[in-house]
Amino acid sequence: MKYNKINNKLFIKNRKDFINELASNSIAFFNSNDIYPISADSTLPFEQHRDIFYLSGIDQEESILVISNNKNYDYKEMLFIRETNDHIVHWEGEKLTKKEATEVSGINTVHWLGEFDRFLDELIKNHDNIYINTNEHYRQNVETETREDRFIKKLKKIGGINFKKSNPILQKQRSIKDPIEIELIKKACEITKKGFERVLSFVKPGIWEYEIEAEFSHEFLRNKSKRFAYNPIIASGINSNYLHYIKNNKQCQSGEIILMDVGAEYANYSSDMTRTIPVNGRFTTRQKTIYQAVLNVKKIATELLRPGVLWKDFHIEVGNIMTSELLKIGLLNKVDIQNQTKKKPAYKKYFSHGTSHHMGLDTHDYCDLDIPFEKNMVLTVEPGIYIMEEGFGIRLEDDVVINENGSPTNLMANIPIEIEEIEESMN
């Protein structure tokens, strides 16, 4: 792995917190992801399932984690990993040894994956409840059958099992970050900063969006990030109005702005940044007006992220703040406000998406949206104003940590965002 070794006390603590939430005499199974095919003998780069990584630190294919709270059972934690040999080493490189798996995870009982079926019947018989790991994320839309899905089918064929779900426990647990996790996210943000600084000195009229993407990629890789945390958005001119524009295939013209929604990953943890800059190094007067309005909303919205606040109430309040800014700059008027409805507020014409999402091992990370914000939750703040008829949109986004008291900590506070900072850096 490109990233530095993570202290395994993080994974030991995560398992302890998880097991404390299980019903009595229960066992939970977690499977690694598949290596997904493209065609012929081509595959996508392996990405570990975030739940097994969160609970073990194991970042290797064909792995199974087993966690039990049966007080009379010998094995409270078991790890099954792929057995290697000289042929595999020659073609794929070193895989984890049992000793290395223990060092990474803090789990002492490690077996080869080929032994798993020999243990399975015994594991099921000695427990009243089997916790399975299904995808319950509020934005999930997955059609591919996963390794986890196939394992669940296998268990259901056995019959006579009382199933429970792990994901509701992890929704809460993963949303509150350990200090080690916050440092890993901070590292991802620092790498993103380096990429943005490189781009500020690179952008000029005539370059192509994909060339900017390449500059980010260069800086990410040379700083131990294996990839973008998500598909990068490099959107110049009219493309800046398209929220999920990822073609990145337009030439950037003088007088246009470029909206860049990019973030580096580090050790599987995401960062998520958006900056909007002028192609020629100077914002027009109109661009400055819209930019400052978005920045004003962002600053106020950030201060609202405090413990005890509900996600839905936060978004309503940010909508009110955006409405006020849109009135100030003349994009909305009193008639628009009089004609708005609860389901269709006036500001949605120019600000159509949410302001914040949880972030961590997934860019849109786990969280129960019905629970109040808590200390050490990490969220984005990303307001935007999009004016299709004027051919541009502006969005600004940082990643922040909620504190117990006072303002949240902005993990991207040292990434240029003020108009003067941007223009000075580009000139």
What's the CATH number where 186 sits? 3.90.230.10
Q: What is the pLDDT of residues 63-117, one digit of tens each?
A: 999 999 998 877 789 999 999 888 888 888 889 999 999 999 999 999 999 999 9
Give DSSP secondary structure letters for 121-179: HHHHHT-SEEEE-----TT----SPPHHHHHHHHHHHH----EEESHHHHHHHHHS--H
Query: What is residue 33's predicted lDDT score, i.e. its pLDDT?
Result: 96
**Domain encompassing residue 96:** 9-174
Percentage of the chain exceeding pLDDT 90: 91
The average pLDDT across 379-406 equals: 97
Query: What is residue 91's predicted lDDT score, i.e. its pLDDT?
Result: 86
Residue 401 clears pLDDT 80, i.e. is over it? yes
Q: Identify whether the C-beta of residue 402 lies closer than 8 Å to the C-beta of residue 410.
A: no
Angle at Cα 152 formed by Cα 151 and Cα 158, nearest 5°?
95
**Is 340 inside any structural domain?**
yes
Query: What is residue 378's predicted lDDT score, i.e. its pLDDT?
Result: 98
What's the pLDDT band for 301 if we cut at 50, 70, 90? very high
What's the pLDDT band for 252 if we cut at 50, 70, 90? very high
**Is 260 inside any structural domain?**
yes
Query: What is residue 425's predicted lDDT score, i.e. its pLDDT?
Result: 96
Note whether 192 and 251 are same-domain residues: yes
Note whether 184 and 163 are same-domain residues: no
- Total structural domains in the chain? 2
**Is 315 inside any structural domain?**
yes
Residue 1 clears pLDDT 90, i.e. is over it? no
Q: What is the pLDDT of residues 177-189, one digit of tens each?
A: 999 999 999 999 9
Q: Measured between alpha carbons, how far is 393 from 11 in angstroms, rounded to an integer?
A: 42
Of 174, 197, 213, the position where a domain reaches its end is 174
Query: What is residue 84's predicted lDDT score, i.e. its pLDDT?
Result: 86
What's the pLDDT band for 400 if we cut at 50, 70, 90? very high
Note whether 230 and 366 are same-domain residues: yes
Note whether 310 and 213 are same-domain residues: yes
The amino acid at 284: T
Note whether 202 and 147 are same-domain residues: no
Q: Can you tell me whether residue 48 is helix, strand or coil? A: coil
For residue 81, what is the DSSP state? E
Note whether 143 and 192 are same-domain residues: no
Q: What is the pLDDT of residues 114-142, one digit of tens each?
A: 999 999 999 999 899 999 999 888 888 88
The tokens 């019905």 sit on which residue?
370
Q: What is the pLDDT of residues 14-61, one digit of tens each?
A: 999 999 999 999 999 999 999 999 999 899 999 999 999 999 999 999
Of 174, 192, 217, the position where a domain reaches its end is 174
The tokens 């409805």 sit on which residue?
341
Q: Which residues, at least 6 apart from 385, have a Cβ–Cβ distance to it below 8 Å?
A: 290, 293, 294, 322, 326, 331, 350, 351, 393, 394
